[in-house]
Amino acid sequence: MKKYKGLLLDLDGTMYRGNEVIQEAPFFVEECRKRGIPYVFLTNNSSKQPVQVADKLNGMGIHALPEQVYTSSMAAAAYIQRKFSEPNVFMIGEEGLESALLAGGATLTEENADVVVVGIDRELSYDKLRKAALNIQNGAAFVSTNKDRAIPTEEGMLPGNGAVTEAIALTAGISPVYVGKPEALIVEEALEVLGVSKEEALLVGDNYETDISAGIYAGVDTLMVETGATSFEDLNEVESQPTYKVKKLDEWTFS
Amino acid sequence: MKKYKGLLLDLDGTMYRGNEVIQEAPFFVEECRKRGIPYVFLTNNSSKQPVQVADKLNGMGIHALPEQVYTSSMAAAAYIQRKFSEPNVFMIGEEGLESALLAGGATLTEENADVVVVGIDRELSYDKLRKAALNIQNGAAFVSTNKDRAIPTEEGMLPGNGAVTEAIALTAGISPVYVGKPEALIVEEALEVLGVSKEEALLVGDNYETDISAGIYAGVDTLMVETGATSFEDLNEVESQPTYKVKKLDEWTFS
């Protein structure tokens, strides 16, 4: 087995389920630390700031620093920063997206935006949808943190950012640039934070549609763990397979 | 030319554009009255009550009684009333939908709904989308007033009911029953109000995708007027043509 120099670790379904740690996860991350293998947590959740994500992980016994967290909000901000200098941005989103945009030099605005960015927003309103659609029709670029249609929770599937983004796209008649998993973009950005090349990295996740596909699109080896969204049986339906698969993370042998 | 015994008249693009009357419309409707041809206004707008629609038309010099207005909200309420007896309904919508549902014997609820009905709602929130998606996942039927993706206004295209409905459908993984144009259902309901058979009726509208298609699906003859959404040139792209077409309503000869 190849010796990997850096790991990209998914969160929900891989490290925890909702507010419950997945039993094998803390030991797996601890092994990385002991062996001096750098790791970064890679999440499509755009609502939280890195420090909040790190706090949650540490509370579950998983060692995490804020600088080891890379969110789809950070990928969106990085993408915008490369394309525009000091842009005016109309944002639908929560504090995770807002702080990433401001850190990237953006100015938030309601009108005459250069860019419209859409992330999950539990304060979504018709007026926000309206402003997003109008700014896009007036020429703003259209960026969305991720295309996840629904968020799995204990009460059921809740509206995901992909579903809300689609409503705006249907209104404006324009498709967005997505930056979150399964897009290669977020993986490439996270590799820069990790400081390793794509050939040296392993992406670990439970969801074929987002995690494993992101690795495949970005040319990064993948390890699928069967503790979340995708079962081994589901893999019969897909052409490109993960590089490795394990039922639980404790089956993985670090080489 | 066939002598029609009843007319179904579209509103936006046919009778008016926004708040501006289309010049030939009042005379056209007056001719119907003089000749004793009954007519009903048929609209996908689910937000208004019939009396409000009639008031607007009368204010433009177009003679209209509330009972001559048939909205997609009324079609939704009629559909639900036929399928369910005294249903509990979770509604996203405005007063037009609310009054139609209550008149149809529905009880409005937030949880444990038998039916989720979605119409345009300028007070839309994430919480409303969430409740709609959860009720549908818990087994509620899913009905939407219409699939119009966007609403044309002076400031641009605003989010339409079809775009919002699609966000809920993507979240719940279930497609709705649409009742508004171009569905045959709303035409059939309106024909009952009009009191004529489909062979005796003519549907007049500007929009091929909604009005003319509704007539075609319902087996009703159609007259397309080129004062709104669809141009004669656009008709080169479609297979089923309107029965008649005129540039303006004053070109129509009543037989």
> Which of A133, A29, A46 shows the shortest CA–CA distance to A93?
A46
Say what percent of chain B tops pLDDT 70.
100
Inter-helix orientation angle A184-194/A72-83, to 10°: 90
Residue B255: per-residue pLDDT: 78
Contacts B127 to A, Cβ<8 Å:
122
Residue B1 has pLDDT above 80, yes or no: no
Whether B170 has its CB under 8 Å from any CB of chain A: the answer is yes
C-alpha span between B25 and B99 (Å, rounded): 28
Mean pLDDT across A225-233? 97
Whether B160 has its CB under 8 Å from any CB of chain A: the answer is yes
DSSP of B183-206: SHHHHHHHHHHHT--GGGEEEEES
Size (chain A), residues: 255
Mean pLDDT across B214-235? 98
Mean pLDDT across A195-214? 98
- The residues of B that are catalytic are 10, 12
Whether A122 has its CB under 8 Å from any CB of chain B: the answer is yes
In the set A10, A114, A121, A206, the catalytic residue is A10
Nearest to A156 among B129, B137, B164 (CB): B137
Residue A231: per-residue pLDDT: 98
Residue A234 has pLDDT above 80, yes or no: yes
Contacts A147 to B, Cβ<8 Å:
none
Q: Which CATH class is domain A83-178?
A: alpha beta
SS3 A169: helix
In the numeric block, which tokens belong to residue B223? 């007259």
Ordered by start, the domain boundaries in chain A are 6-44+181-251, 83-178
Interface test with A, best of B118, B130, B161 (most A CBs within 10 A): B130
Whether B94 has its CB under 8 Å from any CB of chain A: the answer is no
C-alpha span between A137 and A171 (Å, rounded): 9
More confident residue, A53 or B18: A53
**Sequence-ordered alpha helix ranges (H) in chain B:** 25-34, 50-59, 72-83, 95-103, 126-137, 161-172, 184-194, 213-218
Nearest to A170 among B126, B156, B166 (CB): B166
> pLDDT tens digit string along B171-211?
999 999 999 999 999 999 999 999 999 999 999 999 999 99
Mean pLDDT across A203-232? 98
Given pLDDT bands bounded at 50, 70 and 90, which one contains residue A2? confident
Q: Mark yes or no for CB contact B150/A134 under 8 Å.
A: no
C-alpha span between B201 and B39 (Å, rounded): 9
Whether B154 has its CB under 8 Å from any CB of chain A: the answer is no
Q: Which fold has domain B84-178?
A: Rossmann fold (3.40.50)
C-alpha span between A215 and A124 (Å, rounded): 31
> pLDDT tens digit string along B239-254?
999 999 999 999 999 8
Q: Mark yes or no for CB contact B162/A150 under 8 Å.
A: no
Given pLDDT bands bounded at 50, 70 and 90, which one contains residue A255? confident
Q: Which amino acid is at B41?
A: F
Q: Mark yes or no for CB contact A130/B159 under 8 Å.
A: yes
Our CA-based measurement puts residue B108 at a distance from the nearest CA of chain A, in whole angstroms, of 21
Domains B6-44+181-251 and B84-178 in one fold: yes
C-alpha span between A197 and A220 (Å, rounded): 9
Q: Which amino acid is at A126?
A: Y
Nearest to B124 among A121, A126, A156 (CB): A126
Chain B: residue whose CA lies nearest to A160: B171
Residue B5: per-residue pLDDT: 96
126-145 of B, contacting A, C-beta below 8 A: 126-127, 129-130, 133-134, 137-138
Contacts B168 to A, Cβ<8 Å:
159, 163
Whether B176 has its CB under 8 Å from any CB of chain A: the answer is no
Q: Which fold has domain B6-44+181-251?
A: Rossmann fold (3.40.50)
Given pLDDT bands bounded at 50, 70 and 90, which one contains residue B71? very high
C-alpha span between B4 and A190 (Å, rounded): 68
Residue B39: per-residue pLDDT: 98
C-alpha span between B246 and B226 (Å, rounded): 6
Cβ atoms within 10 A of the Cβ of B3, count? 10
Whether B35 has its CB under 8 Å from any CB of chain A: the answer is no
Given pLDDT bands bounded at 50, 70 and 90, which one contains residue A102? very high
Contacts A164 to B, Cβ<8 Å:
129, 167
> pLDDT tens digit string along B79-135?
999 999 899 999 999 999 999 999 999 999 999 999 999 999 999 999 999 999 999
Chain B: residue whose CA lies nearest to A154: B134
Residue contacts between A and B (CB atoms, under 8 Å): 106
Mean pLDDT across A157-181? 98
Question: Is the Cβ–Cβ distance between A116 and A177 less than 8 Å?
Answer: no
Residue B63: per-residue pLDDT: 97
Find where tokens 């309904």 sit.
Answer: B89
Residue B46 has pLDDT above 80, yes or no: yes
Contacts A157 to B, Cβ<8 Å:
133, 137, 171-173
Whether A35 has its CB under 8 Å from any CB of chain B: the answer is no
C-alpha span between B140 and B127 (Å, rounded): 17
Mean pLDDT across A42-59? 97
Q: Mark yes or no for CB contact A167/B172 under 8 Å.
A: no
Average pLDDT along chain B = 97
